[in-house]
Chain A
């Protein structure tokens, strides 16, 4: 099977001796929506930097769609589109020129580049700003500009390094809708983010990296199944009576007694809570997870 990305025994030691990657192995399937998670300094950006040739690897093998980057870096690079964490375009260029110039670096003719620039700038709501200097854009617009620029050569793999950092909720949602559509059309997406709920909602597979090592690499579903305990918040139509409790569950009742937090351990049935509430004529209006499930696992894995 040809993977979109295949990394084996990848090591990186920076000048000064810091070992950022200690021989990681990673495979990303074609068409996947893949999350690479880890705390700051874990090695995420180094891994991505090596993939897109901004960081020199110390040793190991990296293949993109079966093309070894050491053997044919030019071909391998064509598969990749990169949206970095920091704004890295020429701020004095116009929005249109930023995108069209990038196309030129991929050997795309001006006519095709102009057509694609129009297509992607329109899709990302930047067409009206095409003649503005890019430094005049808002933070969210700059992020979208980097996405348009990364897509101009229509890559097979799109790498997004913290794409929603500092982006407001509405924009974040529209950005994810756009990325999801790209993924549905066949583009492999690799994402790093600190918003773990985003990774939980969007990604199919996940790798967690810590201190230069992959500590988990599985599907999001499989990972979530390993959770032993979840906390649910139940909003009730009326208050529960004073002193109400269920001994088999750990329950925290809010001050107005209309919201309860219930810890459910693996194997326990949440139906018992509904039955108990029904017995005292209290209805559940809504129910949600207290905290992000992935976040709990993440913290557990990182702490070892």
Chain B
């Protein structure tokens, strides 16, 4: 395929993915808006007032970056895992497989589709948070960089999940039993300074902690970890997941007999 044809194929996949999640917005965009509004109202306003300050900010301000990141992570991941698995399930993935579209473009298209949904939901949650608190923006470049890289990483994770998934249960297992615990324990609601030393060390093994804190640093200027480590870790994960996802596609794992 010529370069121009390759990019038309990429654009087609991306537009189709965006069209999918905007068509079913009551399932994709509305629930995180409602859930996060409830988090803001309950944890931020009602309980947060009694907790007091954290990291030099009101509790509400402290948890907003983490909640934005949580919605970006969950939505990037689930967009790709559900979309690609559905395509496998109803065999529409064959439309792509019989075409000359290179595998790396398929992977890139689906990944950026997940990123688009993650960022879209992240933006909605950010706008909603402004009804509850004021947000300063300490470092715009870092904030955007971290949120984009995180969305890419979890989109790739969702893709690998979809490749291995054989049923809809397999698609929901990872978000329920791995992603949600990692996110809740990744410093969304608290600073790891509050934890005993042992649990602080354990928390340092959680990659989500780095992303949440790097994002929080970009907005509030406070972090439990060195943000450059966060960028290195996310970048390494992206390279590894892209390589692994592409390898699975080339092998035809789960999609070719």
Contacts and interface: CB of A to CB of B under 8 A. Distances in A.
B50 interface: no
B248 to A, nearest CB: 13
Contacts, number: 85
Interface residues on B, range: 20 to 34
B92 A88 contact: yes
Interface string A63-80: 000000000011101101
Contact of B94 (A14, A46, A54, A80): A54
A36 interface: no
A109 B7 CA distance: 10
B1 A88 contact: no
A230 to B, nearest CB: 41
A237 interface: no
A92 interface: yes
A87 B9 CA distance: 22
Interface in A46-63: 46, 49, 52-56
Nearest to A149: B95
Interface string B1-19: 1101110110111011001
Nearest to A88: B91
A108 interface: yes
Interface of A: 14, 46, 49, 52-56, 73-75, 77-78, 80, 82, 84, 86-93, 97, 101-102, 104-109, 149
Interface in B212-235: none
B23 A107 contact: no
6 contacts: A77-B98, A77-B100, A84-B91, A104-B13, A105-B9, A107-B1
B94 A102 contact: no
Given A82-B98, A88-B90, A102-B99, A109 B252 contact: no
Interface in B85-120: 87, 90-92, 94-102
